[in-house]
Homo-oligomer: A and B are copies of this chain.
Amino acid sequence: MIRVKIVLAGFGNVGKGFLQVLQEKKQFCRSRYNLDIEVHSIFRRGSALLSPRPLNIKEILEKYSSSFSFEENHLWKPGLELKDALDSIEPGVLVACTPSSIRDGEPGLSYIHCALDKGWHVVTADKGPLVVDFRCLKKKAERNHLALKFSGATAAALPTMDVALYSLAGAGISQVEGILNGTTNYILTRMKEGIDYGQSLEEARSMGIAEPDPSFDVEGWDTASKILIIANAALNTDFTLNDVKVEGITRIPPRLLSRAREKGKALKLLGRIYKKEGEFKLEVALTIVDGSRPLFGVDGTNKGITFFTDTMGAVTVTGGKSDPRGAGASLLKDIINIYREF
């Protein structure tokens, strides 16, 4: 049995989703993968739990299922620093679920650098650090023979990175197109059905799909962040967010919308990687997709991605639960895959 020690940074929906899935799958991880996964520390804003013995996840989840129970327990120590937690435990995996800025990558970027410096593997659902500094983080991980995995940051339960890096290993990827954001895809699906933008967005909000401030999604930046990370990781490029031509769904030209409403057509916000004059280009663009394309039927909050390759043809993957549970499961998946023999 391999013992895997976890430090979790971020105790929001995704962090809790991860703990929930981990709790549920604890025995399965032991019996199927020979892994005993133990959480020793959890960081949230301003305070942290840290213990030489594995934390009781079940108890923690019960106590903190509501965000209103924030300050009730004196076990959460204020002022603790992540680096000290990492120093006090035998290295395992840092699970990063803080929501970091896509401008400077913080606070996650410092956490991840620190973990990699101290011999910890990293599994992250946090896009910011990867958007800002992927190349450098990847190099550091490789140099230290550590894993840096980020399924959770690149459409989570939809296995974008697994397909790109593992299933298509050895193939040359020439083009990628993906529906990578559930909120915008939901709104576009409703708009095809005749509902206007404002009402579709309201629906998405009331269903808890859209953030209170939806601009990161609807202006295309979430999709841009994901397609950027996918490009830099799968194609060994070194693009920045400035290199992505980004379009959102807030100002759809009426002509495009009426074409989208034709039978056998759909309007999708695609994150795309393509070649122009031999160079890779990145864009997020409203695109009319017809019934012959595999992403045509990817509706509602569903996501999907197509990789076009030289030796394996086009491979498309769709689906994967778009919620904290799906995101949590994708973090657990990455942990399991770090320790698999083959």
- The number of chain A residues with a CB under 8 A from chain B is 56
Task: Name the B residues within 8 Å of A68 (CB-CB).
Answer: none
A315 within 8 Å of B by Cβ? Answer: yes
CB nearest neighbor in B for A163: B159
Selected from B311, B320, B321, B338, the residue in CB contact (under 8 A) with A329 is B311
CB nearest neighbor in B for A341: B145
A294-B297, A311-B326 in contact; A333/B145 too (CB < 8 A)?
no
Task: Name the B residues within 8 Å of A338 (CB-CB).
Answer: 342
- Among A25-33, A76-84, A96-104, A218-226, which stretch is in contact with chain B? A25-33
- Among A110-118, A167-175, A239-247, A275-283, which stretch is in contact with chain B? A167-175
A21 within 8 Å of B by Cβ? Answer: yes
Selected from B145, B147, B320, B340, the residue in CB contact (under 8 A) with A312 is B320
Q: In the complex the two chains form, is B336's CB within 8 Å of A169's CB? A: yes
CB nearest neighbor in B for A307: B319
Q: Which residues of A contact B (CB under 8 A)?
A: 21, 24-25, 28-29, 32-33, 121, 142, 145, 147, 149, 157-159, 162-163, 166-172, 236, 291-292, 294, 296-297, 306, 311-322, 325-326, 328-330, 332-333, 336-338, 340-342
**26 pairs from A and B in contact (CB 8 Å cutoff):** A145-B341, A147-B342, A149-B342, A158-B315, A159-B163, A159-B166, A162-B166, A163-B167, A163-B317, A166-B166, A166-B337, A167-B167, A167-B333, A170-B329, A294-B318, A312-B321, A312-B329, A312-B333, A313-B322, A313-B326, A314-B320, A315-B317, A315-B318, A316-B317, A316-B318, A318-B318
